[in-house]
Amino acid sequence: MDRRLSILIVDDCEDDAVLEAAALTRSGLKVDCQRVEDERSFLQALQRLPDVVLCDHALPSFSGKRALQLLNERGSDIPLIVVSGTLDTADAIGLMRAGARDVVPKQGLALLAPMIQRELAGTETRRAQQRDAAALRQLQRAVESTDDCVATVNRSGVLLYANPAWTARFGTAVDGRKPEDGCAGFPPAVYRAVIASQFERCTDGESVRFEFCHAEIAGHTMNCVMTPILDSGRRTTGVAIVARDVSERRRAEQRLEVLATADPLTGLPNRHTFRNALERALETGRAGGVQAAVLLIDLDKFKEINDSLGHAAGDEALVALAQRMRVALGTDALLARLGGDEFAVLIEGAGVRAMATAAAASIAAALHEPIVCVGRPYHLSASIGIAIAPNDADNAAEMMRKADLAMYAAKRGGSGAERYSPKLSRHLEQRLQLVHDLRAALAQGQFHLRFQPLVDLARGETVGAEALLRWQHPELGDVAPARFIPVAEESGLIVPIGAWVLDAACRQAREWRDQGQPAFTMSVNVAAVQLHQRDFVAVVRAALDAHGLPGTALELEITEGALVENDRTTLETLGALRALGVKIAVDDFGTGWSSLSYLSRLPIDRLKVDRSFISGLPKDPKSAAITRAVLTMAQGLGLETVAEGIEHADQLEFLRAAGCQVGQGFLFSRPLDPAAFAAQLVRRAAA
């Protein structure tokens, strides 16, 4: 033994202690000896945990028996060897019974060293065993309290151990062994269905991991690991099984999967899923030369439902529409919701071109029936863009972009459905260029106004001027309003441009008044986007104030569509304008799609009957009938009427006879620059 041993010698005789130490050193042990001779110093010395106690059996104030008692009381496993000169056999037996490890006569000290070595080895083993037992107890506690199901079985599948979780989940326990035992601790049905083959692999020495789910265990999903238990010869003696309930995790994964692939509102595949399906379709298409079609569907005017009825009603409508389209398309097409009121359809296979056209027609038909929202029927339609691979594009992003372009064209053209063509791309590029140029136009002063007189039909005098916007493009020259106004509206640029028009028109009105011209009304066209701006009334007031004009000097021309949109805010805005004295005219009357009820609801002063009715006068009986009806209705409602686009004297005659008060058109004058307009005023006054 290499290590220095610490020896506690209990003896009242110093010489004996020295002899004992010497005997040990002689035998080759390295020792540190300490001698005590009473109980107090013995207990103190014990605290230093000596390796061995050598104890005389009888001392004046202490004894070997007492020392053993003290060691036992403290649960100490330090070996005590009695070293005594005078000890009879009975005493020796008594001491051995009390726990002494051995007894050595003082005359036989040579025995002491081997005895100590034996004892120390024994103590070491005992301590290791104790450690093992403690670890085992801890392991057992852990296995018993875990939620994982743990069992061991022998190679025949007989259950040897099952923790409480196992028993609770599988209903099998070691004591409640059933006649069918041999099922590795599983219910027989489960064993036969899913465990048997895995168990066989495991008894062949392989670790196996698998997942299973069975009605017998209430459909729980278990993740199971089976590990062979090997003996020293590496033969499989049994199998350790750990099964964990992963049902909750799998359910959560499934929920996430659904969330990631489906639109939560309609349950349709979402944009991501659609995109993946499209990519797969294009891939197989490339391999097999098969075509694929994408239909991009955007609901028209859906925003109106959302804005007027709220998002809950909007959602309800979307769910109903999605369902209708689903049914209409059948199972051959993949319908997805891309977001908002945008849907997409994917069609694959031979003859997709015809199938795409048919699908577009089915969707239009499905939307034909009005949808009932909060008890009111709404007529909805959709604009559909179609792109076909590989003709139009060969990758998913391009397919979507081209279908989008086609959809955009369908929306603008009001055609319902449109197939992509390269022409559309060019058209869009031109539009983008136009938006860019319009932005610059405002900054660079490329806009100016022309004024067209409004003439009192009975008296022939000019009673107003309509301000009409003109754009002098540096390269394109004069760009017609019909070309750039819609672009300005869509891009929102009409808001700053419209504010400029209001200001410029008011400035001109001020100038004419300052020149002493009669105080007629200035009419300014207002786009829907402008009217629905929160600060629109303030913009109007600012233009009037800037040029010191009363509200009565101004009339705003608003199209029917803009008036019926967003009913409540429109009513408020018109009310505020009316309070300023500003007049409201309905422009292009008769071309809108709405009911006429807004005429009695909104504060309106004039109707401008659209040129399309006037141009048929007086010969076309339908135009004549409509014009008469409009004039009669306007009279009934107390509204003044203006006829737009009077070009011929017989039109004027008809309108005058039918009671139309005011007219406008090339017959009187084309739109003029301010100087020409003023000259015209003078001429007309003189006539």
Q: By CB under 6 A, name the binding residues for ligand C2E.
A: 452, 468-469, 480-482, 485, 494, 498, 501, 525-527, 557, 587-588, 611, 644-647, 664-666, 671
Q: Which does 671 bind (CB under 5 to 8 A by kind): Mg ion, ligand C2E, none?
A: ligand C2E
Q: Report how far residue 601's alpha carbon sits from residue 568's, in angstroms, rounded to the nearest whole number.
A: 11
| CB-nearer residue toward ligand C2E: 199 or 484 | 484
Residue number with CB closer to ligand C2E (31 or 449): 449
Work out which of 316, 418, 489, 557 binds Mg ion, going by CB under 5 A. 557
Q: Which of residues 78-97 bind Mg ion (CB under 5 A)?
A: none
The residue with tokens 């301010």 is 674
Pick from 56, 112, 588, 654: which binds Mg ion (CB under 5 A)?
Answer: 588
Closest CA to 633 of 666, 661, 612, 607: 607
**Closest CB to ligand C2E among 315 and 647?**
647
Residue 452 interacts with which of Mg ion, ligand C2E, none, CB < 5 to 8 Å by class: ligand C2E
Q: Which of 291, 383, 508, 525 binds Mg ion (CB under 5 A)?
A: 525
What is the distance, to the nearest Å, from the Cα of residue 648 to the centroid of all Cα atoms in its chain? 62
State the minimum distance, in angstroms, from the CB of residue 592 to Mg ion: 12
The candidate with the shortest Cα–Cα distance to 380, out of 324, 435, 302, 453, is: 302
Residue 383 lies near Mg ion (rule: CB under 5 A)? no
Count other C-beta atoms under 10 Å from residue 268's C-beta. 23
Distance of CA 66 to CAs 43, 71, 72, 81, 337, Å? 11, 9, 10, 13, 91
Under the phi-then-psi rule, with left for phi > 0, alpha for psi from -120 to 50, and beta for the rest, what region is 373?
beta
Question: Would you say 421 and 402 are in contact if contact means Cβ atoms under 8 Å apart?
Answer: no
DSSP string computed for 156-176: T--EEEE-HHHHHHH---STT
Of the candidate spans 96-104, 289-297, 415-423, 524-532, the one that interacts with Mg ion by CB under 5 A turns out to be: 524-532
Q: Which CB, 333 or 582, lies closer to Mg ion?
A: 582
User: Smallest distance from the beta carbon of 486 to Mg ion, in angstroms?
Assistant: 14
Stretch that binds Mg ion, among 145-153, 157-165, 553-561, 620-628 (CB under 5 A): 553-561
Residues of this chain, 622-661, that bind Mg ion according to CB under 5 A: 644
Q: Which is nearer to Mg ion, 166 or 536 (CB)?
A: 536
In the complex, minimum distance from the CB of residue 500 to ligand C2E, in angstroms, rounded to a whole number:
9
37 or 557: whose CB is closer to ligand C2E?
557
Sheet holding 52-55, edge to edge: 31-36, 5-10, 52-55, 80-84, 102-105
**Helix 311-329 crosses helix 352-368 at what angle (to 10 degrees)?**
140
What is the distance, to the nearest Å, from the Cα of residue 612 to the centroid of all Cα atoms in its chain?
Answer: 50
The entry of Mg ion, ligand C2E, none that residue 570 binds, CB within 5 to 8 Å by partner kind:
none
| Distance in Å, CB of 646 to Mg ion, minimum | 12
Measured N-to-C along each axis, helices 311-329 and 302-309 cross at an angle, to the nearest 10 degrees, of: 150
> What minimum distance in Å lies between the beta carbon of 632 and ligand C2E?
22
587 binds Mg ion (CB under 5 A): yes
Q: How far is the CB of 336 from Mg ion (least distance, A)?
A: 42
Q: Does 521 bind Mg ion (CB under 5 A)?
A: no
For residue 44, the SS3 value is helix
Cβ closer to ligand C2E: 277 or 643? 643
Q: Which is nearer to Mg ion, 33 or 563 (CB)?
A: 563
By beta-carbon proximity to Mg ion, the closer residue of 437 and 588 is 588
Q: Which residues are bridge partners to 456 per DSSP?
A: 662
For ligand C2E, the closer CB: 90 or 482: 482
- What are the angstrom distances between the C-alpha of 317 and each of 201, 239, 283, 375, 565? 57, 59, 35, 12, 19
CA distances from 305 to 27, 314, 317, 534, 642 (A): 106, 6, 9, 20, 33
Q: Report in angstroms how near the CB of residue 644 gets to Mg ion at its nearest.
A: 5
Secondary structure (3-state) at 469 = strand
Closer by beta carbon to ligand C2E, 51 or else 610 = 610
Q: How far is CA 134 from CA 130, 140, 620, 622, in A?
A: 6, 10, 110, 106
- Contacted entry of ligand C2E, Mg ion, none for residue 609, CB cut-off 5 to 8 Å set by kind: none
Q: Which does 16 bind (CB under 5 to 8 A by kind): ligand C2E, Mg ion, none?
A: none
How close are the terminal C-alpha atoms of the chain, in Å? 141
C-alpha distance from residue 392 to each of 284, 340, 361, 447 (Å): 17, 26, 21, 39
Q: Which is nearer to Mg ion, 521 or 525 (CB)?
A: 525
In the complex, what is the shortest distance from the CB of residue 662 to Mg ion, in angstroms, rounded to a whole number? 13
Output 137 or 483, the one with its CB closest to ligand C2E.
Answer: 483
Least distance (Å) between residue 526 CB and ligand C2E:
6
Nearest to 151 by CA among 131, 168, 134: 168
CB of 504 to Mg ion, least distance (A): 16
Q: Please give the Cα distance from 125 to 554 (Å, whole number).
A: 110
Smallest separation, CB 529 to ligand C2E (Å) = 9
Determine the interface stretch with Mg ion among 1-9, 125-133, 443-451, 581-589 (rule: CB under 5 A). 581-589
Instruction: State how far the Cα of 109 lies from the Cα of 25, in Å rounded to an integer.
Output: 11
DSSP structure class, residue 47: T
Contact in structure between 576 and 556 (CB atoms under 8 Å): no
We find the least distance from the C-beta atom of residue 670 to ligand C2E, in angstroms, to be: 7
Considering only 15-23, 252-260, 382-390, 552-560, which stretch makes contact with Mg ion by CB under 5 A? 552-560
CA dist., res. 389 & res. 310, Å (int)? 39
Q: Token digits for 443? A: 């900054």
Size of the site for Mg ion (CB under 5 A): 5
The least CB distance from residue 523 to Mg ion, in Å, is 7
CB 484 within 8 A of CB 501: no
Binding segment (CB under 5 A) for Mg ion, from list 137-145, 211-219, 518-526, 594-602:
518-526
* Distance in Å, CB of 380 to ligand C2E, minimum: 26
3-class state of residue 222 by DSSP? strand
User: For residues 212 and 225, what is the distance between their CA atoms, to the nearest angstrom?
Assistant: 11
* Full DSSP string of 223-235: EEEEEEEE-TTS-
* Residue 642 contacts which entry, Mg ion, ligand C2E, none (Cβ below 5-8 A, type-dependent): none
Nearer to Mg ion, 102 or 587 (CB): 587
Contact range with Mg ion by CB under 5 A, out of 54-62, 63-71, 286-294, 588-596: 588-596
- Closer by beta carbon to Mg ion, 36 or else 499: 499
Partner that binds at residue 485, options Mg ion, ligand C2E, none, CB closer than 5 to 8 Å by kind: ligand C2E
User: CB nearest Mg ion: which residue?
Assistant: 557
Give me the residues that bind Mg ion (CB under 5 A), please: 525, 557, 587-588, 644
